[in-house]
A and B are shown apart, each in its own frame.
Chain A
Amino acid sequence: MADPMIGNGIRYTEIIEPKFRSCLLLLRFYTPRNVQTAPVHALLTDLLTASSADEPGLSALSRKLDALYAADFSARLMLCGDAAALSFSASWLDDRFALCGEDITGGMLKLVTGCLLRPNLADGGFCEPEFSVCRQNLLDDIDCERNDRRLYAMQRASELCFAGEPAAIPPFGDRQHAAAVTPKQAFAVWEQLLHTAPIDIVCILPEEKPVRSALESAFSGIPRCPVPVPLSALTPLRDAPLRCTESMRISQSKLVLVYQFRNIAPDVLRMLNGILGGINNSLLFLNVREARSLCYYCLSSYSLLKGVLSVDCGVQTADLPAAEEAVREQIALLQSGDFPDSMLREAVLDYIGREAAQENTNAGIADRIADGLMRGDTRSPEETAAALAAVTKAQITEAARQLTPAAVYILRAEEAENA
């Protein structure tokens, strides 16, 4: 087996999967975050995929990607507990489908390493007009966070629940700090990341290609002194749940309930969340949506890194008390073990189905591998499924009893509803 490290703190995983017609390269840079660096991290995901010294300006890179058969190079910011990952993804058509024998893989490796390691610079900072355009995009993104009402409510609930912790900082950071970012400051943050961030690279190829050696060579010129990034940062336990109601001129109110826990094993938590509101026929779906028609969606999710489980739904304002009560009733059902045994089997089958579907795309496989590396869980999907199948109802019930209310956030529809 090849050494997984291709540089100091740079881990490389490669999978050959002949069923795919395209190649995928995923690069994740892990970093702590604070109010100053949060908007810079978001800005970098846009800026570093907009141009490079090889392809300067705002259109050269797009043209190059078009000429490489709709190749894609994009990035997103992932929040991981109190930390973040700048996640870059490149995908391109396999060379065997090129109409004129072009070396698409070679072109993409040059493009990706150029963007990340040879950005378009002037006077020690990122060049204009790319910098100003990307910063304006960031400010627009911050202004438009409220456009997605559901995500906005979830974000506001996080701000309420994690106040004072990095996890409370919105994904794009705040407007004041975003507006103040300079080209030099942004490049300094990127240089720091290049030198110190733990990096995970995952590559999914339909056949052997010299990707590893190309990346090893490209990164060898970067002085590296990686600093570990702690991801798990449990939020302190609350004595009493926090409560916040805000209003917005919308038709449908949003309700988010956040619960805390301390010691729930990951597999038990996955099963608990599935039964509560993660699988198609969860308790929330069956009892809050289908039986009582209170909402169109009612789902649960969790963060092991922060030690919280959240339930969110969209409801008519008049039904907010009933919906909140109905959600609490479902938690109580979990705590008393009053749910059918068949739901455990369905939760395992749900996991197996989702994992199998994820294997249908190279991006899905890369994400699974990278997420596993991040969590330190390198089990195969089959091993995980077996572990989930071994979780008992008693374990779920016991875990559910750990759930204590931490926060309730309501985004209240301001105008009279039409319905």
Chain B
Amino acid sequence: MTLTDPRTGDTCRIIRHRSGLELRIAELPDFRTASAQLVTKFGAQHIRFRTDAGAAVTEMPPGIAHYLEHKLFENPECSASELFAQLGAHDNAYTDYDRTVYYFQTAREFPAALRVLLSFVTHPFFTAENVERERGIIMQELQEALDDPADVLEMQLFSGLFHTHPVQNHILGTVQSIRQITPALLDQCWQTFYNLNNMALCCAGNITAEEVVQIADTVLPETAPPMRAVPVLPPEPEGVRKRRLQCSMDVGRTQFMIGFKSTPAAGTERLRESLLCLLVIELLAGDSSPLYLRLLDCGLLHDTLAADCLAGDGWFTVTAEGESDAPDAVCAALCEEIARAKTGGLDAQRFADCKKAAYGDALIGLNSPEAAADAMTDAFAAGLDSPFARTELLAALTLSDAQDCLMRRFDPDCLTLSVITPQTNKKKGEH
């Protein structure tokens, strides 16, 4: 199947490889590099699953998807990173709530680098010794995350928004859960979720679809067993678990993050709702909104109010974060603005401008091999075919859609306020 963006002429070919792996390829011959991303639909939130429909629920320690991501780079002879470095490719990986992605970018030797990528992810090498050695590195990564105010703010918000959903766990897990991870558990997760029928390879840049298929033919098995595993999510009650959470850290100013929880959505509907939510929050509290100017004018808000829409299987939230000495007053002002917009309506001219801005962002955002590979990976993880769906959906959105979204997804009774206040902490120097 070939998908084409009518605005730009960009194309994306989707090929089901005989091994079960889905290949998504964007040929961009004008660029000097190529990117490849190998993604599995196994992320931090998949800590409960059935290996097939009739099996008992298996539970894993939080953080295991991320630990697995680290460990797959290990080969019996050397690390995959060393092989990439010898080829001049830049490699890395990341774990999100709903996926794990292994990727590289290179200006040369794309076929050889792709062979390395496909090979190391499909050939795990876990030993008691190498798993134990990695634990120290991951503990250091966790400590770094726990010192990061932005990370803590979001983690605290999620723990307030959700009662049972595993998204409330940190992607890296906890000190305790990381200690529970063993080679056997890593292998069980790999066997269950690194099934090629649960994965996709997204390539973009100065490459051709034919060469990607040819390399997949030489590296991947003829077939993979059907994907039988099913993630299990505990029932998530409506409403938030806590309306307000606060902690103290060594930060310069009080920081806050507001999250509105609403009904989860899937596939195209999730993307459409996310786009609408971003437009609505921009209209309500963006840099050119009357509310933002009022908050700045009376000194309630410092700098900007950054908004986002975060969603996945079983969860959906719109967030706004910033710095303020009076976060509760900012939260109350936002709720008042929501109430006013629900009765008085959203501004039509500003809706048109914000929609134009979102359209411009979407077009510019796909203009590189890395961005195109990211878009294809996002689409696969979200259960969509087209990486161009964003611009298509945006074009069709109306003011009435935005007003409807405001009514459904911005419920002041369904919000959590997460706050970090500064600790009193004088520097102690000993020159």
Contact = CB atoms under 8 A, between A and B. Distances in A.
A136 to B, nearest CB: 6
A353 B317 CA distance: 38
Interface stretch (B49-57, B219-227, B352-360, B404-412): B352-360
A259 to B, nearest CB: 19
Nearest to B426: A247
Nearest to B360: A69
Contacts of B303: 137, 140
Nearest to B106: A353
Contacts of A295: 137, 140
A418 interface: yes
Contacts of A244: 429-431
A325 interface: no
Interface in B80-136: 81-82, 84-91, 105-108, 133-136
Interface residues of B, number: 78
Contact of B427 (A21, A242, A246): A246
A296 B141 contact: yes
Interface in B201-260: 249-253
B155 to A, nearest CB: 14
B91 to A, nearest CB: 7
A92 B252 CA distance: 34
Interface string B22-50: 00000010111100000000000000000
Contacts of B429: 244-246
Interface string A228-266: 000000000000001111111111100000000000000
B370 interface: yes
A352 interface: yes
Contact of B140 (A60, A147, A281, A296): A296
A278 to B, nearest CB: 12
Contacts of A246: 427-430
Interface string B353-382: 110111111011001111000000000000
Interface stretch (A194-202, A355-363, A366-374): A355-363
Given A252-B144, A361-B368, A350 B85 contact: yes
A63 B401 CA distance: 22
A276 to B, nearest CB: 14
A69 B147 contact: no
B287 interface: yes
A353 B89 contact: yes
A188 interface: no
A66 B359 contact: no
Nearest to B132: A293
A296 B138 CA distance: 7
Contacts of A58: 293, 296
A352 B108 contact: yes
Contacts of A280: 81, 84-85, 90-91
Contacts of B89: 353
Contact of A140 (B31, B107, B323): B323
Interface string A59-85: 110110111111100000000000000
Nearest to B175: A418
Contacts of B87: 349
Interface in A140-167: 140, 142-147, 149
A140 B140 contact: no
A225 interface: no
A372 B64 CA distance: 45
Interface in B293-323: 293, 296-297, 299, 302-303, 323
A99 interface: yes
B147 A146 contact: no
Nearest to B427: A246
B8 interface: yes
Interface string A9-29: 000000000111110000000
Interface centre among B30, B32, B253 (most CB of A within 10 A): B32
A386 interface: no
Given A314-B140, A360-B369, A361-B368, A69 B30 contact: no
B359 to A, nearest CB: 6
Contacts of A103: none
Contacts of B141: 296
Contact of B368 (A92, A142, A251, A360): A360
Interface in A24-60: 58-60
Nearest to A419: B139
Nearest to B30: A19
Nearest to B423: A249
Contacts of B137: 289-290, 293, 295-296
B364 A356 contact: no
Contact of A129 (B91, B289, B297, B302): B297
Interface centre among B143, B146, B249, B299 (most CB of A within 10 A): B143
B84 to A, nearest CB: 7
Nearest to A355: B107
A377 interface: no
A352 B105 CA distance: 12
Contacts of A414: 425
A161 to B, nearest CB: 12
Interface centre among B85, B302, B303 (most CB of A within 10 A): B85
A398 interface: no
Contacts of A97: 7-8, 360, 363
Contact of B32 (A145, A147, A251, A356): A356
9 contacts: A21-B363, A22-B367, A97-B7, A244-B429, A250-B147, A252-B140, A252-B144, A280-B85, A360-B368
Q: Kindly list the 9 A-B residue pairs having the minimum CB-CB distance in the complex, ordered from nearest.
A: A349-B88, A69-B360, A293-B136, A356-B107, A143-B252, A144-B252, A70-B360, A62-B288, A19-B30
